[in-house]
Structure 1
Amino acid sequence: MRCLVLGAGAVGGYVGGRLAEAGAEVTFLVRPARAAALAARGLRLRSPFGDADLPVRTVTAEALGPGHDLVLLACKAYDLDAAIAALRPAVDGRTAILPVLNGLSHLAALDAAFGRAAVLGGLAKIQARLDEEGVVHHLNDWRWLGFGERDAADSPRLRAIAAAFAPCRGLVAEAVPDIAQRMWEKLVHLGTAALGTVLMRAPVGAIVRAGGAPFLHALLDRHATLAARQGHPMPEAFLAEYRALFSDPASAYATSMLRDIEAGRRSEGEHVLGFLREALAAAGMETGWHDLALLHVRAQEQRRAG
């Protein structure tokens, strides 16, 4: 299988690196400076499941062409338009696009650019970071990648992708028959955690210790109701798991959205919280908390821009 990975950052670098380590033909689409660094030092992975220093193929935008079976897209949602423009020369009739972005809003943009049939559903549960020297650090035992057809339970290309990922160490990659349900489950969880931690500017445990568990539970229930109205009811076991998570006074859980805001970086607030706010409004549901969280995100963007 010929796989193109957009960038060699934290998640893309880790997943693409493990795929290359397992013997797949992987090429990383990178900027010239990153291409030079990878040529000199290789792709360096540091993980509880084994380190790796890998020679990897790279390509820059001006040399990119078609012929790829799979494109792995793991950029931030606010970089999606630039990613679509960069990938156009690589996508032909044989190419499957696997996006593992947060939220759901990216699907419409990818469908419009490449056609719905080309775009798989996908999600990743991997915590990783890229350090100043270009080393990818896998931080814990989260190592799950899920993918699936949005209009079918199975397909030959899903089986081929699963077979390519099967030998990967430090990565559990699964073709799932209900990817839309899984993506909504992630959005219900992520939307609750992101809105709560961003609006309160604190991790989950601090919010709980301040008496905020009922607030987090009400957010979770609202998002679960929204998902159910979209045809994706949340299983009781899922809700029980996240009610426990959002009741833990010792939890240090904070979202990447909060970390980005506190570091003065761009955040995915518009793409996650904005999507939820619009979906709630369209369903005739209360949006007050989401309006406040979006105002907070937008005010921080104004501050960052200034």
Structure 2
Amino acid sequence: MRYIIIGAGAVGGTVGGRLAQAGHEVVLVARGAHYAALRDGGLRLRTADGERTHRLPVVDGPEALGPLRADDVLVLAVKTQDGTAALDAWCDRPVAGGSTAAERLPLVCAQNGVAGERMALRRFQHVYGMCVWLPATYVEPGTVAAAGAPLTGILHIGRYPSGTDDTARRIAGDLEKCPFEAPVVADVMRWKYAKLLGNLANSVEAVTGVLTGDDGLALYRRARAEGEAVLAAAGIEATSEDEQHRVRADKIRFAPFDGSARGGGSSWQSLSRGTGTIEADYLNGEIVLLGRLHGIPTPVNEVLRRVANTFARERRAAGSMTVAELTALVDAESAYAAD
């Protein structure tokens, strides 16, 4: 199989680089300065076992690749807010031998949140969810770092909305030739909803800095409590923290390359890069949406969604609001919601 990594940033670049290192055929899809750097100098992937440069085919869109092959696997690794544009760009691309990508090819959603798969299923017939447990960072154009060890990541995969098949098992087999563990599960969205609850901290981290103090963690716990309440009201099951710990245990440890502390996650990276967008609508915003559908107040997640979006839109610096300031906004919204 040939893997087309749509969005060769932190996650996509790491998955694509590791697959290439294991001997698999990979095409990277990127934009702007990152595309130019990948084209001219290759993908520099820094991992706990050293830095490697992978000189792989890279395109800035489907037109540059030409007709797709029947053995292609599309891996959607863009942020969810960029998902619709990417899906629309690739779904009608012709596949050699007849039909289109949407009709014939598997599409794997390697994204945070739970909305990407539903977006994809509107267009693609064969959709797979992937729960990405992979500490990775976009360092600069052309360079991605993944500091997990001894495994680079754990990537649960399954059909969407549920089930497994030979394609999922073949993809998992290829990933497990790399330093990944890739369990094939019939209930992949249960894992993704559990990851969603953890990702409710992303907005807190993005606007106030990496969570190290009790106050920031307390704010995250309030957001998570709302998330757990709305999932219960909606009848949605998420993998328990105990089950996650049993599966992941100590398989991934943070192994910094230079002795530095761990940086921020995906939302923090979006603000740091000044992209102008952030995934808060599909993390905290997912909880707000479910709360409105099921009559559960979600003032904490609403404030986190709103503030994170303001930071992104105004290109404010990551970590430039204090936890106390953010908590005050949450408390005011919570008091208003209680009236």
TM-score norm. by structure 1 comes to 0.81
Aligned 8 A contact 1:224 1:234 in 2: no
Aligned to 2:64: 63
Aligned to 1:244: none
Aligned 8 A contact 2:288 2:298 in 1: yes
- How far apart are residue 48 of structure 1 and its match? 0.2
The answer to whether structure 1 residue 227 and structure 2 residue 231 are counterparts is yes
- How far apart are residue 262 of structure 1 and its match? 6.1
In 1, the alpha carbon distance for the partners of 2:180 and 2:83 equals 25
Once the two structures are superposed, residues 229-284 of structure 1 have per-residue CA deviations (whole angstroms, 9 ceiling, x without a partner) of 3330553626999xxxxxxxxx9785432454466442111221212101111111
In 2, the alpha carbon distance for the partners of 1:140 and 1:172 equals 12
Q: Do the aligned partners of residues 203 and 157 (structure 1) sit closer, same or farther apart at CA in structure 2, a change above 3 Å counting?
A: same
Once the two structures are superposed, residues 2-44 of structure 1 have per-residue CA deviations (whole angstroms, 9 ceiling, x without a partner) of 2111133221111011112212221223448656644543322
Q: Which 10-residue stretch deviates more, 219-228 or 282-291?
A: 219-228
- 1:39-50 map, 5 Å: 39-50=39-50
State the SS of the aligned residue for 2:23.
coil
Aligned to 1:79: 82
Once the two structures are superposed, residues 272-306 of structure 1 have per-residue CA deviations (whole angstroms, 9 ceiling, x without a partner) of 1212101111111112212222332343345339x
- How far apart are residue 152 of structure 1 and its match? 4.2
Percentage of pairs with the same residue? 26
Once the two structures are superposed, residues 167-217 of structure 1 have per-residue CA deviations (whole angstroms, 9 ceiling, x without a partner) of 11x3223322320110010011112x1354457x244322x1x4x655443
State the SS of the aligned residue for 1:204.
coil
Aligned to 2:138: 130
Q: Do the aligned partners of residues 233 and 11 (structure 1) sit closer, same or farther apart at CA in structure 2, a change above 3 Å counting?
A: closer
The answer to whether structure 1 residue 18 and structure 2 residue 18 are counterparts is yes
- 1:140-289 map, 5 Å: 140-141=148-149, 142-168=152-178, 170-191=179-200, 193-197=201-205, 201-206=208-213, 208=214, 210=215, 214-228=218-232, 229-235=234-240, 237=242, 254-261=264-271, 264-265=274-275, 266-289=277-300
Aligned to 1:246: none
Aligned 8 A contact 2:87 2:123 in 1: yes
In 1, the alpha carbon distance for the partners of 2:128 and 2:32 equals 29
Q: Do the aligned partners of residues 153 and 107 (structure 1) sit closer, same or farther apart at CA in structure 2, a change above 3 Å counting?
A: closer
Aligned 8 A contact 1:29 1:58 in 2: yes
State the SS of the aligned residue for 2:307.
helix
Aligned 8 A contact 1:42 1:53 in 2: yes
State the SS of the aligned residue for 1:231.
coil
In 2, the alpha carbon distance for the partners of 1:172 and 1:239 equals 14
State the SS of the aligned residue for 1:130.
strand
Aligned 8 A contact 2:4 2:73 in 1: yes
In 2, the alpha carbon distance for the partners of 1:301 and 1:53 equals 31
Q: Which 10-residue stretch deviates more, 229-238 or 4-13?
A: 229-238
- How far apart are residue 85 of structure 1 and its match? 2.8
Aligned 8 A contact 2:231 2:237 in 1: yes
Q: Which runs of 5+ in 1 are unaligned?
A: 242-250
RMSD: 3.0
In 2, the alpha carbon distance for the partners of 1:160 and 1:182 equals 20
Once the two structures are superposed, residues 90-124 of structure 1 have per-residue CA deviations (whole angstroms, 9 ceiling, x without a partner) of 61533111111111122222111224xx1111121
Q: Do the aligned partners of residues 219 and 30 (structure 1) sit closer, same or farther apart at CA in structure 2, a change above 3 Å counting?
A: closer
In 1, the alpha carbon distance for the partners of 2:225 and 2:164 equals 31
State the SS of the aligned residue for 1:66.
coil
